[in-house]
Amino acid sequence: MVDDKKILEVKNLKKYFNINSGVFFGKSIGSVKAVDDISFFIKKGETFGLVGESGCGKSTVARLLIRLLRPTSGEVFYNDINIFKIKQSQMFKLRREMQIIFQDPYASLSPRMTIGDIVGEPLEIHRILDKKSRINKIKETLKIVGLNPEHINRYPHEFSGGQRQRVGIARALILEPKFVICDEPVSALDVSVQAQILNLMLDLQKEFNLTYLFIAHDLSVVKYVSNRIAVMYLGKIVEVAPSEELYSKPLHPYTMGLLSAIPIPDPRLERKRQRIILSGDVPSPINPPTGCRFHPRCPNAQEICSKQEPELKNYSKDNQVHLAACFFAGQPIK
């Protein structure tokens, strides 16, 4: 149930990390432009996918959205509230509605706490329910994510990777949030378990009318879960489109390269497919290339690309929104 109301809106968000030299009296010698002027919105009830390779700034975006980091500049509106302008105590209340599921189910659960304590901790922090009803709530939540409620006193090491990720999901869901950030929730899991977790997340979304921001590097997984997808490259959003359209009509050469790099598990089709292999590595975000940041790797690059930075523009002919930041958007790759 996607409705038109924006649950989250990001405007010109920037996050630069300073690099200091020297151990004690370090002076700033530059900055990593992890997130550099990005804007997007997420509608209520939808899944918004954010894809990009390592170092493109997608996890920094996640941390900014729940104010685990302060931005260099820019605004984030959650239900029309600017989260960087409110007091800590108000943010604390808001966090009940915004939860995050982390990538590594091995590192994100404390090995010294029982499953019950881990899942119940948010209730304790937010002082919700008394002790007895908390236990009932924990058991209920464990059941929802497909775990045996009787395992409430077990420790994380007794569980497999997939089960641990279910614990992580239970912890995020126990406060009945409205907006959940999923930061690479399945990339540490085996294929058969990945599918279980993805299905669980889709079921939970329907049941509790959740809005997801789904961050991943695997475009086939993102396409499977998302309504709309944004592609990031070196701290910038280069393309935003409905997921089906992003696959069928990619406009940005980076998106084309990314799509083409993913082999499809269908040998007849895969062997016929024309592949675009992007050359080179992702450059360092400390000194990103001038102009369009993708131009050193872009097979379509012209002179203008190294001089001027392309803006995100809408290229959709029908009523949809399909944004791309490229001077030669939609041009096939030679």
String of contacts with other proteins for each residue 42-81, x by CB under 8 A = -----------xx---------------------------
Helices (H), the chain: 58-65, 88-94, 115-125, 131-144, 161-173, 191-208, 219-225, 243-248, 253-261, 267-272, 303-307
Residue number with CB closer to other proteins (27 or 271): 271
- If one asks whether residue 122 binds other proteins (CB under 8 A), the answer comes out as no
Q: Looking at residues 150 to 189 of the shown chain, list those that interact with other proteins (rule: CB under 8 A).
A: 160, 162-163
String of contacts with other proteins for each residue 278-317, x by CB under 8 A = xx-xx-----------------------------------
Closest to 7 measured CA to CA, from 31, 43, 50: 43
Residue number with CB closer to other proteins (91 or 195): 195
- If one asks whether residue 219 binds other proteins (CB under 8 A), the answer comes out as yes
3-state secondary structure of 285: coil
Tell me how crowded residue 47 is: count the other CB atoms within 10 A of its CB.
25
Residue number with CB closer to other proteins (98 or 167): 167
Residue number with CB closer to other proteins (8 or 258): 258
Instruction: Give the interface segment with other proteins, choosing from 18-26, 106-114, 193-201, 310-318 (CB under 8 A).
Output: 193-201
Tokens at 299, concatenated: 């097979």
Residue number with CB closer to other proteins (23 or 191): 191
Residue number with CB closer to other proteins (69 or 282): 282
Instruction: Give the interface segment with other proteins, choosing from 3-11, 100-108, 126-134, 258-266 (CB under 8 A).
Output: 258-266
Place of tokens 């690479």: 184
Closest to 122 measured CA to CA, from 107, 112, 137, 111: 137
Give yes or no for a contact between 231 and 302, defined as CB atoms under 8 angstroms apart.
no
Length of the chain: 334
Least Å distance between CB 271 and other proteins? Answer: 7
- For the chain, the 3-state helix, strand and coil shares in percent, each to the nearest 5, are 35, 25, 40
Strand pairing report for 47-51 and 211-216: parallel
Place of tokens 């379509």: 300
- If one asks whether residue 262 binds other proteins (CB under 8 A), the answer comes out as yes
Q: Which amino acid is at 20?
A: N
Instruction: Give the interface segment with other proteins, choosing from 21-29, 100-108, 256-264, 325-333 (CB under 8 A).
Output: 256-264
Residues that bind other proteins (CB under 8 A): 53-54, 160, 162-163, 190-196, 198-199, 202, 217-221, 223-224, 244, 247, 257-271, 275, 277-279, 281-282
